[in-house]
Amino acid sequence: MHDEKSQEHSDSRNLTGQKDGTSRRSFLTQAMAAGSGLAVMGVVGCGWDTEAPAVVEAPEEMGDSGLPAGKDLNNFVRHSENPLALETRRQAFGASVVVPDELLFVRNNLPTPDPHIVEDRDAWELSVTGVANPRTVTVGELKSLGVETIATVLQCSGNGRGFFQHETTGSQWLAGAAGCVVWSGVPVRTVAEALGGVTEGARFVTGTGGEVLPEGIDSSEVVVERSIPLEKGMEDTLLAWEMNGKPLALIHGGPLRLVVPGYFGANQIKYVKDLAFASEESDAAIMRTGYRIRPIGEGGDPSQPTMWEMDVKSWINHPSGENRVQAGQVVIHGVAFGGTRSVRGVEISINGSQTWLDAPLIGPDMGRYAWRQFALELTLEAGAYTLASRATDDAGNTQPAERLENHRGYGNTSWRDHSVTVIVS
């Protein structure tokens, strides 16, 4: 199976050719190792690329409707209503690392389940199979097995899709389909051990979402079910019932969500109802052909890299480019993360990448899966500036200048795409 082969490449390298050591599940790494023939644009030489990022128009309001978890529409771009897709506006991001519930983006694949499922949270049932003693466990029972707490970046695979030049289906997210939150729950490995251990031959952990599926359709076409490597499942994957110190809101997957630190959001199954330790990847469409990295014009296929580990990325939130900035001292701040790795450093350019300045990391380091805030004070005279940030992770991988071109517009980490143009006056 393709993913096994890529895992055996012990010297797999990332997009910039640097040795990435432990990570074999970044889609960039998988793509390079598999020689998938994807068009990878090299770093453009010195000088600024004059092509403007693709302009994306905010969709018109689709009618007033109450938003969940105390969210105010002023802080979001609403890409769609059913299923709900809310993108956090850049200027709404703060500098305190953790994104509170009311600012966190929303992306659902199917309509949100009925709120009754969070009325008696502890009664929610998870069916566990592929262990010596398979059975159904309730959230209440899971809470008796243990608890761990972890801060992670939650990011949609399609974050940055709006910058791609070719036509793509799906929400045209820019930078705001991402946040950093704190989860509490029980490790999957603890649950497996409590149920007698994982059966031999298991190579994946598969989570299935508890949405009610429409009738008259093959369930495998629409079920939200994704598999992750067993090793990751048994490392630090959590079954979480709490986010940011409160019971996990329904809109974000409550009463129980699979949290896979450092992996893209699609794998972090909301209202998870089935957990299987399996020998094969799920054959659900969302796993088999969805969320695959493939050349523009090609269909999805299980042999293609899947959206598992995230890669190093950063962007500037302030100034966001939406408002004029007063000439004088300006504080430029933003976020940087390395997927499964810590951030080593961030650089900022204000002159079209001719020069890069080190941007100090500020605030707490909440672990390798969380993001860091960076901030730099500069004196800016009146004029137009293109601000860009570029992060490097602790394995030495640097955020690339260009996006990896792919059909569905996934995984955009291009610092050039995420740059902001600011008028200082």
Partner 1 sequence: MATLLGLLLSSCESAADPGDKELMDLGRSVFSELAVPSCATCHALREADATGSTGPNLDELRPSMERVRLAVSDGLGVMPAQSGHLTDQQIHAVAYYVARTTSSID
- Provide, rounded to whole angstroms, the least separation between the CB of residue 398 and partner 1: 26
Q: Which is nearer to partner 1, 56 or 424 (CB)?
A: 56
Phi-psi group of 234: left, alpha or beta (phi > 0 → left; psi -120 to 50 → alpha; rest → beta): alpha
Q: Which is nearer to partner 1, 296 or 366 (CB)?
A: 296
User: Cβ atoms within 10 A of the Cβ of 123, count?
Assistant: 11
Q: Which is nearer to partner 1, 144 or 169 (CB)?
A: 169
Contacts of 141 (CB under 8 A, 6+ apart): none
What are the Cα distances from residue 320, in Å, to 16, 185, 420?
28, 35, 6
158 close to 170: Cβ distance less than 8 angstroms: yes
Phi-psi group of 129: left, alpha or beta (phi > 0 → left; psi -120 to 50 → alpha; rest → beta): beta
- Provide, rounded to whole angstroms, the least separation between the CB of residue 289 and partner 1: 7
- Provide, rounded to whole angstroms, the least separation between the CB of residue 14 and partner 1: 26
Q: Are strands 125-129 and 272-278 parallel, antiparallel or unpaired?
A: parallel
CA dist., res. 80 & res. 177, Å (int): 13
User: Cβ atoms within 10 A of the Cβ of 397, count?
Assistant: 28
- Provide, rounded to whole angstroms, the least separation between the CB of residue 216 and partner 1: 5
Binding site for partner 1 (CB under 8 A): 54, 56-57, 59-60, 62-63, 80-83, 109-111, 162, 164-170, 172, 214-218, 221-224, 285-286, 289-290, 299-300, 407-408
SS3 148: strand
Q: Which is nearer to partner 1, 281 or 347 (CB)?
A: 281
- Provide, rounded to whole angstroms, the least separation between the CB of residue 287 and partner 1: 11
Q: Which is nearer to partner 1, 223 or 387 (CB)?
A: 223
- Provide, rounded to whole angstroms, the least separation between the CB of residue 169 and partner 1: 4
Q: Which is nearer to partner 1, 30 or 108 (CB)?
A: 108
